[in-house]
């Protein structure tokens, strides 16, 4: 049965989705979660994806299966075996098969079949995503539930930390900044726009050496982008965020606060080992599933766009993102069909209207307050906290006190404005933003819970953080002095 209510989720969909991304990636996420829960016999049904004027909404689905008691616990315990032996090999196989698809080189029936095959692969990829991530979340919960009553949850998470892949990636970015200074190419990074830096460096012997090191980094991390919207170039195509982060570190080197990991307590029942595996996979899975898969999927969809552009049915390549997946399929099946340009123009008008109006609080029937599954609450957050005068309330996600000037960051273009000692305020963050964390005094986001990406990486950096502060971007002026308590979740505007 279709949901009666759909709610926005700003932590995962902070901006509008293009129609093609909505009917490929977003739809695969919703359907993939539902299918993963069916396979795992989990206790919730996932969600149905829906968009309006580009904004994404999720509607809870009922289970079409009987949940098995202890199913997620068993999946969590088995995850250290299943991930390397079954799930990750299948994920990587799917990515390789996506890269082999060549839409430009096929006749119309083959192109249609290729689109259908791409959809099957993408859907399976995101099903595997949740078959890894949900048990990983459960593994963390099994450990925290084993702690004595009243134990500090942040202290419990500290026992799970082993250094995640985001901090490894950040260390590589810092190394690239150091190498830029050593190879005397830092001036190029400082003086030229990111769009021409590669061209300028290629003219220099040491520049070519540095580009080789950059390309080695991008082999692993080049699937990053501002967020998961498929129309956005990935870092492998135009490493804007990487270069902006390196430029920032070249100009203002920072000391990293990550502290050595202490030996953990004894683990007679194995819960700690399982929890640590889940905690690490919670962050690292994006480098095996999300980013490589999104990069490969984007390449295939651009191939379909180039095909339509060559046939004269698109005015520009980017118009392919204005088509829904069924419309793209119809266009591929009927080479003589017309009207795609008109669809693209109408969709761009809809997105422009949606940008002005913003997302609605809900679609369908008014939402009924219900208890959220514990796993989902720790990832998404509890919802809006109370606001009293100059005090805002969120979720304490990384312990510590911080005070400093607020720096509102919306996109990578804002990275150069960040100064050491700033408190970064953002709607949400992605792994591509984490090189900034080493220079910050504190972090405030509008979305996310205690097990969100921002929370995990902030704890690795020992960075005080408060997440889920609704309206923070509007309530906190850029440059205003703010104080935050990363344990209680309280944010105070000092002046």
Per run of 10 residues, the mean pLDDT along the chain (length 495 residues) is: 88 91 97 97 93 96 94 96 98 97 89 97 98 95 84 80 71 90 91 90 94 92 88 90 85 60 56 91 90 96 96 94 97 85 95 95 83 54 62 93 95 82 91 79 92 85 92 94 96 90
Residue spans per domain, the chain:
1-143+270-372, 165-251, 381-493
pTM recorded for the entire structure:
0.85
SS3 308: helix
pLDDT at 79: 97
CA distances to 32, 97, 298 from 119, rounded to whole Å, are: 11, 12, 12
Residue pointed to by tokens 């498929």: 230
Query: Bridge partners of 6?
Result: 363
The Cα angle at residue 293 between residues 275 and 212, in degrees rounded to 5: 95
Contact between 329 and 262 (Cβ < 8 Å): no
Determine the topology of domain 381-493 in CATH.
Answer: Glucose Oxidase; domain 1 (3.50.30)
Contact between 276 and 287 (Cβ < 8 Å): no
pLDDT at 172: 87
Q: Across the chain, how many H-helices and E-strands are there? A: 18, 13
| Radius of gyration of the chain, Cα coordinates, nearest whole angstrom | 23
pLDDT at 53: 97
Estimate the share of the chain in helix, then strand, then coil, as percent rounded to the nearest 5.
55, 10, 35
């Amino acid at each position: 049965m279709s949901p009666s209510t759909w709610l926005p989720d700003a932590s995962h969909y902070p901006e509008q989705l293009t129609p093609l991304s909505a009917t490929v990636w977003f739809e695969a996420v919703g359907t993939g979660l539902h299918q993963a829960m069916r396979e795992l016999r989990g206790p919730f049904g996932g969600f149905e994806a829906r968009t309006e004027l580009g904004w994404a909404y999720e509607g809870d689905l009922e289970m079409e299966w009987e949940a098995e008691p202890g199913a997620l616990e068993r999946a969590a315990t088995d995850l250290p075996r299943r991930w390397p032996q079954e799930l990750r090999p299948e994920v990587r196989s799917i990515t390789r098969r996506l890269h082999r698809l060549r839409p430009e080189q096929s006749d119309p029936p083959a192109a249609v079949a290729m689109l259908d095959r791409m959809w099957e692969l993408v859907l399976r990829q995101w099903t595997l995503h949740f078959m890894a991530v949900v048990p990983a979340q459960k593994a963390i919960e099994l450990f925290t539930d084993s702690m004595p009553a009243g134990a500090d949850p942040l202290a419990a998470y500290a026992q799970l930390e082993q250094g995640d892949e985001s901090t490894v990636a950040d260390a590589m970015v810092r190394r690239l900044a150091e190498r830029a200074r050593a190879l005397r190419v830092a001036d190029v990074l400082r003086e030229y726009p990111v769009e021409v830096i590669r061209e300028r460096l290629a003219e220099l012997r040491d520049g070519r050496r540095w580009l080789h090191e950059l390309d080695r980094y991008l082999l692993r991390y080049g699937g990053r982008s501002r967020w998961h919207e498929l129309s956005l170039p990935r870092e492998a195509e135009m490493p804007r965020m990487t270069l902006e982060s390196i430029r920032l570190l070249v100009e203002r080197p920072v000391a990293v606060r990550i502290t050595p990991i202490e030996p953990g307590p004894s683990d007679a029942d194995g819960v700690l080992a399982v929890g640590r595996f889940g905690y690490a996979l919670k962050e690292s899975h994006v480098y095996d599933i999300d980013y490589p898969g999104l990069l490969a999927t984007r390449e295939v969809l651009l191939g379909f766009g180039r095909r339509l552009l060559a046939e004269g049915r698109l005015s520009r390549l980017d118009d392919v993102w204005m088509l829904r997946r069924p419309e793209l399929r119809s266009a591929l099946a009927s080479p003589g069909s017309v009207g795609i340009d008109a669809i693209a123009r109408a969709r761009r008008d809809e997105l422009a209207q949606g940008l002005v109006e913003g997302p609605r609080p809900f679609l369908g029937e008014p939402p009924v307050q219900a208890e959220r599954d514990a796993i989902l609450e720790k990832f998404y957050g509890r919802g809006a906290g109370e606001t009293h005068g100059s005090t805002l309330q969120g979720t304490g996600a990384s312990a510590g006190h911080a005070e400093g000037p607020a720096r509102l960051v919306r996109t990578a273009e804002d990275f150069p404005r960040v100064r050491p000692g700033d408190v970064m305020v953002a709607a949400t963050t992605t792994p591509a933003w984490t090189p900034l964390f080493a220079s910050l005094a504190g972090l405030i986001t509008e979305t996310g819970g205690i097990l969100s990406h921002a929370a995990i990486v902030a704890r690795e950096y020992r960075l005080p953080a408060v997440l889920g502060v609704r309206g923070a971007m509007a309530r906190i002026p850029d440059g205003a002095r703010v104080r935050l308590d990363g344990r209680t979740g309280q944010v105070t505007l000092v002046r």
